[in-house]
C-alpha cells in the first residue's frame, strides 16, 4: 500500500522543510549562543516549566529524545553552567534538570535571532489563514504521534525485557 501523490508530497515537504528550518536554526544558535538546536530546545522547555525545572524523564519525552542522548546534552549544558541536575522533589528516584540564571541569559541572547529565523524561514511564506491551518494540522499530527509513540520510560522497559 502506498500513499497517494498528494500525501506523498505533503510528507516529503514536511520532512524537507523541517530539516531545512532546523539547519538554519542550528547555525544561528551556534553563532549567537554557542549552543545546538537541541540544547536550545532543552533550555527553552525548562524556562517554560514551573520553577524552571523538569524531571529528566519528562524532559526526554517533551523533546522527543532518548534518555542517554538527553543525559549527554544535559551534561554539556551543566558543564557550561546553563543548567544543573539535582534530585527530583516529587520522586526520590528521579533527577530534575533546572535552568540556571546563565541559561536564561543565553536564551535571552539567542531568542531574537531565533524568532527572526523562524519568521523569515517559515511564517513569511504563509498568510494568516495558512499559518492557522498549519498549526491545526501539525497539532493534530503531533497529538496523534504522541499517542502512538511510547514514552522514554516505556521504551527503556521494553528493551529490558528483550
Taking only the tens place, the pLDDT of each residue in 13-63 is: 999 999 999 999 999 999 999 999 999 999 999 999 999 999 988 888 887
Query: How many domains, the chain?
Result: 1
75 falls within a domain: yes
Mean pLDDT, rounded, of the chain: 90
d(CA 82, CA 107): 10
CATH assignment at residue 115 = 1.10.10.10
Give residue 110's domain range: 18-125
For residue 150, being part of any structural domain is answered with: no
Q: What percent of the chain has pLDDT over 90?
A: 70
Asked whether residue 46 is assigned to any structural domain, the reply reads yes
Mean per-residue pLDDT for 76-89?
93
> 92 or 128: whose pLDDT is higher?
128
Tell me how far apart the alpha carbons of residues 148 and 162 are, in angstroms, rounded to a whole number.
Answer: 20
Residue 106 lies inside a defined structural domain of this protein: yes
Is there a domain that residue 69 lies in?
yes
Sign of CA dihedral 27, 30, 33, 37: positive
**Dihedral of the alpha carbons of 51, 94, 38, 65, in degrees to the nearest 10:** -140
Residue 107 lies in a domain: yes
Question: For residues 33 and 155, which has the higher predicted lDDT (pLDDT)?
Answer: 33
pLDDT at site 89: 81
Residues 113-119, mean pLDDT to the nearest whole number: 97
Q: What pLDDT is stored for residue 90 in this prediction?
A: 79
Q: Which of 23-37, 119-133, 140-154 has the lowest mean pLDDT?
A: 140-154
Q: Domain for residue 6, yes or no?
A: no
Amino acid at each position: 500500500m502506498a500513499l497517494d501523490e498528494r500525501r506523498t508530497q505533503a510528507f516529503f515537504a514536511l520532512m524537507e522543510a523541517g530539516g531545512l528550518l532546523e539547519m538554519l536554526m542550528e547555525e544561528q544558535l551556534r553563532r549567537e549562543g554557542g549552543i545546538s538546536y537541541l540544547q536550545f530546545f532543552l533550555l527553552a522547555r525548562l524556562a517554560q516549566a514551573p520553577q524552571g525545572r523538569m524531571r529528566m524523564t519528562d524532559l526526554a519525552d517533551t523533546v522527543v529524545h532518548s534518555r542517554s542522548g538527553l543525559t549527554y546534552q544535559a551534561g554539556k549544558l551543566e558543564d557550561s553552567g546553563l543548567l544543573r541536575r539535582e534530585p527530583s522533589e516529587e520522586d526520590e528516584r528521579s533527577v530534575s534538570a533546572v535552568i540556571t540564571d546563565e541559561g536564561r541569559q543565553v536564551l535571552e541572547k539567542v531568542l531574537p535571532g531565533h524568532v527572526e529565523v523562524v519568521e523569515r524561514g517559515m511564517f513569511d511564506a504563509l498568510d494568516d489563514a495558512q499559518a492557522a491551518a498549519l498549526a491545526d494540522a501539525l497539532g493534530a499530527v503531533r497529538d496523534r504521534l504522541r499517542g502512538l509513540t511510547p514514552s522514554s520510560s516505556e521504551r527503556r522497559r521494553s528493551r529490558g525485557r528483550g
